[in-house]
Structure 1
Amino acid sequence: MTMMSANRGSKARGVVVAAVVPLMLLTACSSGTGASGSKDGEIRMMVNLTDNLDQSYWEKLVKPFEDKTGLKVKIEGPTGKSVAESFPQQLAAGTAPDVIQSIFPDDDTAPELVDLSGEDWAKNTPMFDEYAIGDAHYAVGVGTQPQSLVYYNKSAFKKAGITATPTTWKELTDDLGELKKAGYTPMQTAGDYQTGLQLQQIYHPTLNQLHPKWQSAVKDEKLTVGETYKPAFQMYADWIDAHYIAKSDVGLNPSQADGNFVAGKAGLYTNGSWFAATLAKAGTLPFDVGVFSPPAADGKSYPGPQGATMANPYMVHKGAADEDGAKQLVEFLVTDPAAIKAQLGSDGVFRKDSDVKQTGVGSQIQAILDDAPALVAVGEGQGNVRLPVTGFNPKFTEVAQSLYTGASPADAAKAIDQWVDENR
C-alpha cells in the first residue's frame, strides 16, 4: 500500500513539523553504521512478508546478488503491523534499514531517502516519473499493478447474447441489462474498502480523459472532487436502482465477492491485476474469464488511460551504512532479468512491454497494459499529482456506500466536497 503524506493539508502541518524535529535530531546523531545497525558487508532490507512472499522467497531472490557482489543481504519483516508503520518508527529510533520495499516516499520521509534521479539504470524503470516528488525520484519499481480492469464471465456473455466487450458507457449499461435477463448478477460489487475502490477503478479512464491530472486540479482549486465524480455517482445509483448491482453487496467482504465471481454467479467484476492471482489459485473454473479496460469518455478514443500503481517499489535510506551497496542491490532487483521475472510472477505484478511470457488472464492484462495510452495516478494520487488531503479512499468508500442506502448522486458529490474542504 502507498504510504501517503501526512502533511499535505495545512491543518495537519503544524503537528507534523513539530514531530519531525526529534526525528531529524535522532537520525543526525545516529548516522553512519549506527543509523542502520548494519554489520560490515551487510545490507538490511525491510519487506512486507506474506504467505507467498515469505522469508525464503526473498532470500532466494537476493542470492544471485550476494554471490556476485560478496555482500550479505539481511531480509527483515516489519517491526510493527506493516512496513508503512515500521519505517517512520525506525527512522525516529535510528534503526532504519538500508533498503525499504513496498511503500512510497511522503513529505516527511523523503528527506531521509536517497534521490535516485542521477542513476541511469533507474530512469527506465516502470512509472519512474509518475512517482517523482518535485524533481526528485526516491522510489523505483519492478513493475505495475493495473487497477482499471473489468473481469467478465465469457459463458455469461454468450448466454446473454453479448458478442463484444463494451467500449462506451451505454454499451456497458445495455450489457448489464442483458446479463440480468440471463439470470446473472450483472456487476459484482462488495463492501469494506472495495466499494469505493471499484467505483474509482471503473471510472479512472473516463475521469482522466475528461480531467487529466484531476487531483492536481482539485489541489489548485480549479475543480472539485464532487463535480468530477458526480457522473460516476449517477451511473452507479442508476445501476443500483435497476438491480444491476445487488444492494446486499454492500455487506459482502471482498473475499465473498471474489467467491461469487469464481462460482460463476456474476457477469462482470471490477478489480485490480492482483485478482489474477486469486483466479489462478481457484484452479479450473466452469467458465472462461476475460478482461477488458473500462469504457472511455463519450467522444474519446478507446482504451483510455489506465489507472495504475508502481509495484514492488524500493527506496534507499540516506543513512545506510553502505549506501553504494544498497543502491547496487536495488539496481539488481529492478533491472536484472531473472529478478524481474521472479517478481512479475507474484501478486499481479506486470511490466509494460515485458517479454515475460504470460498465459490466460495474465496475457490479457499484459495486453491491456501495453495498449494503455498512459498510466495515471489513482485515488489520492502519487508523486506530484496528489489531492490536498489524506484519507481520501476511506471517505470515498463511505460516500459510495451511501448510494446503496438512498443518498442521491448530488448528496454524494456534496458530501465528498465538504470533507475535502474541511480537511485541506
Structure 2
Amino acid sequence: MKAMWRRTCGLAVAPLVMASAVACGGGSDQASEGTTLRVIVNITPNLTEKYWNDLFAAYEKAHPGVTVKLELTGTISADAKLRQDLAAGDPPDVAQQITPTAETASLFTDLSDQPWTAKTPLTDQYAIDGKHYVVGVGEQIQSLVFYNKAAFEKAGLDPAEIRTMDQFTSAMAQLKKAGYEPLQTAGQWVTGAQFSMMADAGVLTADPEWTVKRTSGKASFAKSGYLPYLNRYKSWIDEGYLEKSALGLTYADGQTAFLNGKSAMYIMGSFFVPAADAAKKSDDIGVFTMPTDGAHPSGQFGNISNPYVVVNKSRHKAEAIKFVKWATTDPEAIKSQLASDGNLREGFTYPMSSLGTSVQQILDKAPSVLVKSGASQPIAGFSDELNKQIQSLYTGSSPADAADGLDKWWNSQS
C-alpha cells in the first residue's frame, strides 16, 4: 500500500493543565531550565490517558528536563479545546487530532523548513498553499463495515455478495428478522462520522473534486449524490434498522454493544480493530468494504492518523517541534501509535490479528484513498454541522431538510 486548575499571572481561568514552571509572560525553549510541554491529546477507548502517559514517558526519559503534560479535552473536540485555551491567553504547546485549514493555519507553526516532515505520511496532501502545518504518524481508512460472523450465518448472508446499497439494505432486513439490531450507531460524533464513511465512499469516488466544487459554489448537497444517501439513511431509521435510542449512547457504548453481539454490523474506521483485539473478539468479526451504488470496490475515505501541530503561540516552540519530530519519526513511537489505533504506514509492520489483516487486504484492493485535505478540506466546523443534520433525521427532519441545512450552513460560512 501503497484537567487541573491553573492560575496565570494572578488570574483564575478555566480548568487547564499546569503550563510551565517558567514565570508568566516568559517562557523558554531551553530544556535545561525545566520545560513542561502541554499537549492536547485525543482520548478514545484505544488511546487512553494511561496510553499517552506511557508513550510520552519514553520522550521524557530521552530528554532530561522536559516534562510532558496532557491536556484532556473532556466532551469537547481538540479544536474547541485549543480555541478555549487561546481565548484564555493560555496557549498549549502541541495539539493532536487537529487538521489545519486555510482559515486556521495562522494558529499553527509552519514546519516546511523541517526536512524530516517529508518522511511523514500524506504530508503533501495536507499542505496548505504549499506549506506544512500538520504531520502525522500513519493513515487510517474508514469506509468499512464490520460484521458479526454468527449473525450473518444465522441470517444466511454472504458478505461478499453485499456490493450495492440495495443489497446492504436487504441484508439489514434479514438481520432484523434473525433477531439482531442490524446496524450499530451512537450519539456524540458517531452519527455524522458514520454517514461520511458511507456517503463519501460513493460520492467522492465518482467525483474526487466534489468538495472543491462545493467550496466554489458549483455543487450542493441538495443536488448531488449526497441526497440519495440521506434518503437511504432516513429509510433505515424509519424501518427500525437504526435504533432512535442509539443517540443516547456514547461512542464507547456503541462499540461495546457491537462487540457484545447485540448488533450485527458497525460502520467504523480501521481504528476499531484494536478494540476488537483487546476484547478478544477479532476472530468472531469480519469486515467488508462499504457498498455503494457506483464503482465497487470504491475508494476508501481515509485520513492522516495521529496528526500533530505545534501551536504558534507556544512559549516553548523549539522544544515543541523536537517533540513532534520524535512522535512522528521515532520508530518505536511510530509502531506504538500505529498498533494502538489500528493504523498503517508504509515501511512499518506490526503483528496483526485476522481482522487487522482483513482490513489491510481491503486497503490493498482499494483503487484510491479519498483524503479531505488541502483544497478538498471542508470548511472548519463542517463535521459538527453534518453531525447535527444527520441526528435531526432521527427527530423528524427530512433528507431534503438536512441537505438544505448543510447548504445553508456552508453558504453562511463562506
What is the aligned partner in structure 1 of residue 4 from structure 2?
Answer: none
Aligned-residue offset at 1:137: 0.6
What is the aligned partner in structure 1 of residue 227 from structure 2?
Answer: 230
CA RMSD of aligned residues (A): 3.2
What is the aligned partner in structure 2 of residue 127 from structure 1?
Answer: 122
Establish whether residue 262 from structure 1 lines up as the match of residue 259 from structure 2: yes
Inter-partner Cα distance in structure 1 for 2:375 and 2:221: 17
What is the aligned partner in structure 2 of residue 383 from structure 1?
Answer: 374
CA distance 1:139–1:159, shift in 2 (3 Å): same
CA distance 1:414–1:84, shift in 2 (3 Å): closer
Inter-partner Cα distance in structure 2 for 1:262 and 1:73: 40
For residue 401 of structure 1, give the secondary structure of its aligned residue in structure 2.
helix
1:162-183 CA distance string (max 9 Å, x none): 2233222232222222222322
What is the aligned partner in structure 1 of residue 339 from structure 2?
Answer: 345
Does the 8 A contact of 1:187 with 1:269 survive in 2? yes
Inter-partner Cα distance in structure 2 for 1:132 and 1:280: 34
Inter-partner Cα distance in structure 1 for 2:145 and 2:329: 30
Inter-partner Cα distance in structure 2 for 1:267 and 1:80: 31
Does the 8 A contact of 1:55 with 1:75 survive in 2? no
Establish whether residue 115 from structure 1 lines up as the match of residue 110 from structure 2: yes
For residue 77 of structure 1, give the secondary structure of its aligned residue in structure 2.
strand
Inter-partner Cα distance in structure 1 for 2:316 and 2:49: 29
Establish whether residue 74 from structure 1 lines up as the match of residue 59 from structure 2: no
Q: Which runs of 5+ in 1 are unaligned?
A: 1-32
Equivalent residue for 2:39, pick from 42, 47, 69: 47
Aligned-residue offset at 1:74: 2.3
Equivalent residue for 1:278, pick from 271, 275, 278: 275
Establish whether residue 62 from structure 1 lines up as the match of residue 54 from structure 2: no
Does the 8 A contact of 2:37 with 2:67 survive in 1? yes
Aligned-residue offset at 1:303: 2.5
How many aligned residue pairs are there? 381
Inter-partner Cα distance in structure 2 for 1:284 and 1:47: 33
Deviates more, 1:411-420 or 1:245-254: 245-254
Alignment of 1:50-199 (within 5 A): 50=43, 51-54=48-51, 56-63=53-60, 65-66=62-63, 72-78=65-71, 84-85=79-80, 87=82, 96=91, 99-107=94-102, 110-111=105-106, 113-165=108-160, 166-199=162-195
1:58-97 CA distance string (max 9 Å, x none): 333315743xxxx643202238867545645666788655
Inter-partner Cα distance in structure 2 for 1:132 and 1:394: 23
Question: What residue identity is the alignment partner of 1:332?
Answer: W
Inter-partner Cα distance in structure 2 for 1:383 and 1:304: 21
Inter-partner Cα distance in structure 2 for 1:296 and 1:237: 16
Question: What residue identity is the alignment partner of 1:78?
Answer: E
Aligned-residue offset at 1:219: 0.7
Structure-2-length-normalised TM-score: 0.79
CA distance 1:248–1:100, shift in 2 (3 Å): closer
Establish whether residue 208 from structure 1 lines up as the match of residue 204 from structure 2: yes
For residue 413 of structure 1, give the secondary structure of its aligned residue in structure 2.
helix
Question: What residue identity is the alignment partner of 2:394?
Answer: Y
1:115-153 CA distance string (max 9 Å, x none): 333444322312212221111011111112332221100
